[in-house]
Amino acid sequence: MFCTRLYLYAFYSNQTNHSLMILSDTRILEEIEKGTIVISPYDRKYLGTNSYDVHLGKYLATYKDRVLDARAHNEIEHFEIPAEGYVLQPGTLYLGVTEEYTETHAHVPFLEGKSSTGRLGIDIHATAGKGDVGFCNTWTLEISCAQPVRIYAGMPIGQLIYFVVEGEVKTFYNKKGNAKYNGRTVRPVESMMWKNEF
């Protein structure tokens, strides 16, 4: 899925004569030093060639109702992943959360699954891999699996990459009055689709 999205980004860049640029490890470190990228907790050993590894937080959640309604506020139930791990089951959507709180003030953050996660049949997001400039929070994960698999709090779950922004940003996500996911949290957040007018 990521390769497909990257191809589309590259195609758009070629069509508009803009270059697609992802920050290298050196540039990520420079932005962290400047404070335009914040990762907490941070450990240098999790910095890859052009990404930063993030980890699964201790909370999961599932929806209370089996049939969801896009116009309704679908409530969720939170629970902690036990020390012995928790077995995910196919056919159920689990909401997870990253251990890491992040802030991105000058780039577009993009969260993707690690290849080792994918090889266990785990997908960490349905559609919402892209963050916005100014996003300051933990990341809620939309987790599904191809077959039963045991997961653990603290396991590597994904990687953040950072795209360069072309042009001036007029409204940062953390300054938007109608942003639905600005409230800082250490637990997964349910869909706020019901707040849209349609």
Q: Which helix (H) or strand (E) holds 54?
A: strand 52-55
Neighbours of 160 (CB within 10 A): 24
User: In the chain, what is the straight-line distance between the N-terminal and C-terminal CA atoms, in Å?
Assistant: 29
* Four-CA torsion 128, 104, 53, 183, nearest 10 degrees: -60
Alpha-carbon gap, residue 109 to 102, rounded angstroms: 9
Catalytic residues: 142
Neighbours of 19 (CB within 10 A): 10
Burial class (CB in 10 A: 0-12, 13-18, 19+), 189: middle
